[in-house]
Amino acid sequence: MEDINTKSVRYPVATDIKLEKIALKLGRTKKTTVIQMVEYFYRSKKDPLDLNDELLKKELVNGNNRIIGFFKTQEKDFLLPIFSDSGTLVTIAKQHTLYIKDIGKFMAQDLENTKKLAEGMTALQRGIAKTQTHMEDKALLKLRFSKILEYYITQRESLGWTTANVKKEELQAHVRQSLENL
């Protein structure tokens, strides 16, 4: 079996300190970190001396453009309709507020009218009760008067033509007194 670790690289101590910090940060050995760095530069074809990597810049710009495009699409598809609809909803809400205020005014007026109507109905009921009482009193008065008249007629008939004036006057006085007692 052949050992794959046959090559070695020499570098300064300052570079070794940096490499060790990178390896500790990544949680790998220095050897694994060096192997992965070489693999990275080999695959990406990037020059380690070029700190202003144009491919990386292009990728970042493309990523940013995609993100901005996504936001613009979301804004066009969702936010703008929501804003325009919310303006319409605010207008409708203001109209509904006016309608509700008008309904409130109408209800207050209707309440006042209902109170007046209830007062009128109460007064009408009192008037009807008073009229009913007067009608009952009138009927009772007619009945009593009818009894007095009947009494007068029967007594007058029984007296005849020959009866003294004193008896006639007593009858008249009795009938008058009965009428006054009504």
pLDDT averaged over 10-residue windows placed end to end, the chain, 182 residues:
75 93 94 91 80 72 88 86 83 90 93 94 94 91 82 74 72 79 73
Give the orientation angle of helix 13-26 with respect to helix 30-44, to 10 degrees: 90
Residue 82 lies in a domain: no
| Residue-level pLDDT at 107 | 94
CA 150 from chain centre, in angstroms, equals: 78
Residue 69 lies in a domain: no
Q: Residue 39 sits in which domain range?
A: 10-48
Domain count, the chain: 2
| Residue-level pLDDT at 24 | 95
Who contacts 40 (Cβ-Cβ below 8 Å, separation ≥6)? 46
pTM above 0.95, yes or no: no
Alpha-carbon dihedral angle through residues 9, 14, 20, 21, given to the nearest 10 degrees: -150
